[in-house]
Amino acid sequence: MEVPALGNPLDVPGRPAGAQHLHSALVPTKTTKMTPPSRCPACAHDLVLLEAGALRWCPACRWNLDVYDPALAPWRGTRMVGRWGFRRGLELDRATQEDLLADPEARPAETSSVEVWLLVISAVLALLGLAAVGYLVWLVVASDLPPGVRLALAIPAVLVVLLVKPSFGRVPKYGVLTEREAPQLHRLVREVAELAGTPVPDVICVDLSLNAGVARLGWRQRSVLVIGMPLWVMMPRSARASLLAHELGHLANGDPLRVRRTLLARTFGARAVAATGGRNPWRRAMRATDSLAEQGSGAFVLLGMIVHGIVALANVAGATAQLLVDTVAMPDSRRAEYRADLVARRVAGSAPFLRSCETALLADRIWQDLWHLAPRIDGDHMEAMAAEARERLSAHLPMARQLSRRTTDLWSTHPGEDQRMRLIEALPDVNGALYVDDIRWAKIDTELAPWRRAAHNALLGTRDRF
The pairing of beta strand 203-207 with beta strand 212-217:
unpaired
∠ CA 420-341-100, nearest 5°, is 75
Q: Does position 443 have pLDDT exceeding 70, yes or no?
A: yes
Q: In what order do the strands lie in the sheet with 222-228?
A: 203-207, 222-228, 212-217
The whole-number pLDDT of residue 47 equals: 92
Cα-to-chain-centroid distance, residue 12 = 24
What residues does 226 pair with on adjacent strands?
Answer: 205, 213
Query: Exposed (0-12), middle (13-18) or buried (19+): which is 55, by Cβ within 10 Å?
Result: buried
Contact 67, 83 (CB under 8 A): no
Query: How confident is the prediction for the chain on average, in pLDDT?
Result: 86
- The percentage of the chain sitting over the pLDDT mark of 70, rounded to a whole number, equals 89
Q: Does position 48 have pLDDT exceeding 50, yes or no?
A: yes
Can you tell me the mean pLDDT for 233-258? 94
Name the 3-class secondary structure at 207.
strand
Q: Does position 8 have pLDDT exceeding 50, yes or no?
A: no
Q: For the chain, what are the domain ranges?
A: 166-460
| pLDDT band with cut points at 50, 70 and 90 for residue 224 | very high
The whole-number pLDDT of residue 302 equals: 77
The whole-number pLDDT of residue 1 equals: 56
The whole-number pLDDT of residue 413 equals: 84
| pLDDT band with cut points at 50, 70 and 90 for residue 460 | confident
